[in-house]
Chain A
Amino acid sequence: MDIITVKNLTKQYEAYHRGQDAKSVFKSLFHREKSIITSVEDLSFSVGKGEIIGILGPNGAGKSTTIKMLTGVLYPTSGEINVLGYNPHKQKNQYVKQIGVLFGQKSQLIWDIPPLDSFYMNKEIYDIPTNDFRTRLDRFVSMFEIGDIITKPTRTLSLGERMKCEFIMAMLHSPPVVFLDEPTIGLDVIAKQRIREFIKQMNQEGTTFILTTHDLEDVERLVQRVLIIHQGKKVYDDKFSELRLHLGAKKMVRLSAATTIGDIDLPGTLISERISDYEVELEIDTDQCKMGEFLHILSEKVEILDISIKEIQIEKIISSIYEMDIG
């Protein structure tokens, strides 16, 4: 059952710009050139209950703008949004009680006082019953193992510790839908792992997550479905497991040879990186050239010292999608 439905969502806004020379700067005091920017264009998608979907895209693609419209922070220029039966900007106060939001680069914690004080403030704002609040708080603090830091001023905490507290802020009122805008940005490997485990745990208990991220490990480890936005438009919307197959069955081959490796003229084969005269990285489209056939022909052309075969990296697939704009 879909709990989020987005239809033909568009967001446009005015932007001012000027030239770099002194004349342009002075002229901008009286008149500024204005242009209309379309940050999201005719976007449609839906999210089912209990899904974790990842919204990907290059910088400026419209990911955060989409999240802001879904959370009611921005008004769409046109289109419809329905989340849990609510229109985010027409029924704001009732709607935001049902959602949790975490902005990776914007803090909900009060800088000078301990996170615990901020949690109590959220308790009043969301009108959380005291027993429920204490039970949830104790549980989340235990899951993140941050019992000893929530009474220290926020400004003394590390980024990872602060982010764990931000998650608690977003989840204290037990929202069925949580929006995460770059939740692991700037975190170390251990902190990221903890946060991913937390998201998985909450998802198993029924919480739906929509996250935007540039960290493709977040995508590989967490999301079930991927929505790719490029220049404000949807270019891919399908299961993560289908992503690799979407551009054909490609493999990456790293080859070391005893002799100079020249051009390899085989269908479906591309030298993606020439590391040295004796070592290359190749991209093989196994739909066009079976691996066995490739290895047989290669061994006739060069004396192979070492070879490794891997799945094509997710970064390459997504870069290709950005470049090819496959719908």
Chain B
Amino acid sequence: MKRMYQIYKTCMKANIASAITYRVNFILNSLIMLIGNVLFPLVTVFIYNSNASFEGWTFKEALLIQSVFILSTACAGIFFNGIMWNTMSHVVEGTLEVVLIKPTSSLFLLLARSFEFESIGLLGGGVVMFVYALSGIDGMTIGSWFLFLLLFGAGLLVMFGVALIVAAISFKWVANSRLPEMFESIKSFGRYPGTIFPKAVVAVSSFLFPVSMIAYFPASTLIGRWEAYFFIAIIPCALFAAFGIWLYTYMLRSYKSAGG
């Protein structure tokens, strides 16, 4: 465990050093990522300023959901989304051998090398928005904070699973860079309060493709507006992650048996 921590720490430092090497590129990427992701909360501002609303949700409650979405996206970007591009790049260029010859789990090493510091700007923006949203809301307790963290973690598991599934598919369907865009479209359902959707969409986004766990469930739980099925939805999140790990490992074996 200590060795894995040391490997991760060294890879993280190398990735940060790589990112900072191109300073202007790093600053621009961080800003663009931040600006791109705060546009939709701006739409929420405009909606509420024009006396419309998400029924049953105050402006700050709606903003809270969207800030948690940004925080989730930022964490995913920092810690594991990069494995999709890393894997695709290695498969297309035929350079996965340099990872496969190392005496550690290839999946772990690729994850460690996928640490992306550029999402730090988005994380900062998300924290600011989160704090601002919370400033106008009551109902938080120590218990709700604990449950929030539990569900936030479950939301990260969904995104982790999807990142691995997309990366795994790239072994077979080489250079298929449009798959992450498809997921982003589905993920966008998680930005809004689930109560505005029809029951069928709620069911799908809770249990089949649990994107509601990315923001809506954790944010609602934090302010005491949780339902029992939020916690049942942790199971499909864990299954997503487990399937992603299994599929990636299986495809890695297929790569080795297919001649690269």
Residue ranges of A at the interface with B (Cβ–Cβ < 8 Å): 11, 13-14, 37, 39, 65, 68, 71-75, 89, 92-94, 96-97, 99, 101, 103, 106-108, 110-113, 117-118, 120-121, 123-127, 153
- Interchain residue pairs with CB less than 8 A apart (12): A73-B97, A96-B102, A96-B103, A106-B97, A106-B98, A117-B13, A117-B17, A121-B11, A124-B9, A125-B102, A126-B102, A153-B21
Residue ID in chain B nearest A126 by CB atoms: B103
Minimum CB–CB distance from B102 to chain A (whole Å) comes to 5
Is B10 located at the chain interface by the 8 A CB criterion?
A: yes
**A106–B21 alpha-carbon span in the complex (Å):** 22
Contact indicator B103/A89 (Cβ below 8 Å): no
* Contact indicator per residue, chain B 1-42, by CB within 8 Å of chain A (1) or not (0): 001001101110110011001100000000000000000000
Minimum CB–CB distance from A270 to chain B (whole Å) comes to 40
Contact indicator A125/B21 (Cβ below 8 Å): no
- Which residues of chain B are near A123, meaning CB under 8 Å? 10
Residue A93 contacts which of B13, B17, B103 (CB distance < 8 angstroms)?
Answer: B103
Contact indicator A110/B10 (Cβ below 8 Å): no
**A13–B22 alpha-carbon span in the complex (Å):** 41
Contact indicator B260/A74 (Cβ below 8 Å): yes
Stretch with Cβ within 8 A of A (4 or more), from B79-87, B152-160, B212-220, B251-259: B251-259
Contact indicator B18/A112 (Cβ below 8 Å): yes
Residue B18 contacts which of A11, A99, A103, A113 (CB distance < 8 angstroms)?
Answer: A113
Among residues 71 to 94 in chain B, which have CB atoms less than 8 Å away from a CB atom of chain A? 94
Minimum CB–CB distance from A21 to chain B (whole Å) comes to 24
Interface contacts beyond A110-B14, A121-B10: sample of 18 additional A-B pairs, CB < 8 Å, sorted by A: A39-B259, A71-B97, A74-B256, A94-B103, A96-B102, A111-B18, A112-B17, A112-B21, A112-B22, A113-B14, A113-B21, A123-B10, A124-B3, A124-B6, A124-B10, A125-B102, A126-B102, A127-B3
Contact indicator B14/A118 (Cβ below 8 Å): yes
Counting from the closest, the 9 A-B pairs by CB-CB distance are A13-B259, A112-B18, A75-B257, A97-B103, A124-B10, A96-B103, A112-B21, A101-B101, A124-B6
- On whether A110 and B259 interact (CB within 8 A), knowing A71-B101, A73-B100, the answer reads no
**A106–B105 alpha-carbon span in the complex (Å):** 20
Is B104 located at the chain interface by the 8 A CB criterion?
A: yes
- Which residues of chain A are near B3, meaning CB under 8 Å? 124, 127
Contact indicator B259/A74 (Cβ below 8 Å): yes
Contact indicator B22/A103 (Cβ below 8 Å): no
- Which residues of chain A are near B14, meaning CB under 8 Å? 110, 113, 117-118, 121
- Which residues of chain B are near A75, meaning CB under 8 Å? 253, 256-257
- Which residues of chain B are near A126, meaning CB under 8 Å? 102-103
- Which residues of chain A are near B22, meaning CB under 8 Å? 112
Minimum CB–CB distance from A108 to chain B (whole Å) comes to 5
